Amino acid sequence: MRRLRKVKILATLGPASNTEATIEELARAGADVFRINMSHASHDLLHETMAKIRKVEKAVKRPIGVLVDLQGPKLRVGKFNTGSVQLATGDVITLDTDTSEGNKTRVHLPHPEIFEAIEKGHKLLLDDGKIELRCIKKTADKIECEVVHGGKLSDRKGVSLPDTLLGVGALTDKDRADLLAALDAKADWVALSFVQRPEDIIDVRKTVQGRAGILAKIEKPQAIERLEEIIKLSDAIMIARGDLGVEMPLETVPGLQKRMIRMARQQGKPVVVATQMLESMIEAPVPTRAEVSDVATAVYEGADAVMLSAESAAGDFPVQAVSTMNRIAVAVEQDGLYQSIIRRQNIEPEATAADAISASARQVAETLDLAAIVTYTSSGSTGIRAARERPEKPIVALSPKLATVRRLSLVWGLHCVRTDDAVNLDDVVDRACSIAYREGFARPGDRVAITAGVPLGTPGATNMLRIAFVGQDGVGSS
């Protein structure tokens, strides 16, 4: 199960892939983390799926991360008396608080927070942006809109508000219940949808209290405006290009993707690129050339992980989709240009001992052509620092905590192994060398760089860099 690539693959589970056998196939094909989407999962299904993943984890003998994706506030119009209406450009339609069925001139909007926040001139995008309205008049219970781009609008279609900052948090009552269920099931990551402000992350952190990593999904223009603050407060981010592309001009999304990847790496936070990566593989066994280029671009940019959504959850070829993404990533990372592109994106380490040690480990490993970098990490922060350097050499992350190695399975380049804490400095060297040997990263006579903290087992105390030889039986010597 040693990967031949450093970028990670996150695969969504669903009706097409929810059996234990398929989950194992996906893991062996290349999936490092599994996503459970609470928009489509009950709490019972969440626990059942978690149990299957943990059985597969034992079968493949590798830590597997689980991301539980909270639904977030879903804004939708009400129903029409004919099921749908045809709106033409220039028409006027009113969104109101009347619960009766709508027609071509009005429809119910069951979201009081929109009436409070929207202003004249703001855009409303319906049905994933297919229909655009503009607010021309607003009262406490009515929003009068001009149709800018018309089309067929049917019952319960979604509403997006790119110009409006809603006064409610990103967590609904359903999300709070789902969050508690995810923590009870021991999920490694929870994803927060439709983040608008840093306070959304703070609200979730009060509940999570370190029991899972918090991943902020960036899919609202309002989040872009406060991106640096949101990244700082999150444990990771996801570039959710689907909704982002609905609420912002499509041509701005590629540039935002590059900006977010670099900003997240600067702050030492894992970043996932998601949505429509191999969309055609929902129905076809091979992707389009454009999709291959899209995945490759994310890998070249140094993203920590790339994600499959409906391709693995509901598509006809879930295992092939993961296998295809794996092959693309391997090919990119073996390309002669890959390392030079990654190297040009280098960032300066922060002025801390742990950052200085991680930067030095990369430089030493590459200068001396060492076999691997072995890093001891209790909380996971040292492993993330080592990955932020994007070294050419493999990184083996050792931790006594199963929760830590599972969480780090999302992070670029980390081959995670659970092991007991070392008892002394000799054990630090012996354990690092024997695991690097056992896991296939080093052969007898090779050298490895080892980072650890003294006193041993102290979280966040990385202050030691050693170079060790791997002996004939895998035992090391300094």
Q: In the numeric block, which tokens belong to residue 195?
A: 């983040």
| Separation CA 231–CA 187 (nearest Å) | 21
Beta bridge partners of 399: 418
> Residue 476 — φ and ψ, nearest 5°?
-100, 165
Q: Does 49 qualify as catalytic in the annotation?
A: no
| Separation CA 22–CA 195 (nearest Å) | 32
| Separation CA 225–CA 15 (nearest Å) | 36
Catalytic residue among 62, 106, 197, 217: 217
| Separation CA 389–CA 355 (nearest Å) | 9
| Separation CA 373–CA 386 (nearest Å) | 9
Query: How open is the CA angle 439-444-447, to the nearest 5 degrees?
Result: 85
| Separation CA 193–CA 307 (nearest Å) | 15
| Separation CA 130–CA 426 (nearest Å) | 64
In terms of C-beta density within 10 A (0-12 exposed, 13-18 middle, 19 or more buried), how is residue 442 classed?
buried
Q: Which residue has the tokens 């626990």?
A: 47
Q: Which DSSP symbol is given to 391? A: -
Catalytic residue among 275, 375, 382, 451: 275
Q: Please give the C-alpha separations between residue 150 and each of 24, 155, 210, in angstroms, as whole numbers.
A: 46, 16, 47
Q: Does 217 qualify as catalytic in the annotation?
A: yes
3-class secondary-structure state, position 326: helix
Classify strands 151-154 and 84-87 as parallel, antiparallel or unpaired: antiparallel
Q: What separation, in Å, do the N-terminal and C-terminal C-alpha atoms of the chain show?
A: 29
Q: For CA atoms 215, 5, 254, 266, give the dihedral sign.
A: positive
Cβ-contact 121, 135 below 8 angstroms: yes
Q: Please give the C-alpha separations between residue 171 and each of 117, 317, 461, in angstroms, as whole numbers.
A: 17, 33, 35
Other residues' Cβ atoms within 10 Å of the Cβ of residue 467: 16
Catalytic residue among 35, 220, 241, 269: 35
Q: Does 206 qualify as catalytic in the annotation?
A: no
Cβ-contact 218, 195 below 8 angstroms: yes
Residue 33: which region, alpha, beta or left (left: phi > 0; alpha: psi -120 to 50)? beta
Those residues with Cβ within 8 angstroms of residue 12's Cβ, 6 or more apart along the chain or in another chain: 34, 35, 36, 37, 307, 308, 309, 310, 311, 312, 313
Catalytic residue among 28, 54, 76, 262: 76
Those residues with Cβ within 8 angstroms of residue 101's Cβ, 6 or more apart along the chain or in another chain: 78, 79, 80, 81, 108
State the catalytic residues: 35, 76, 217, 275
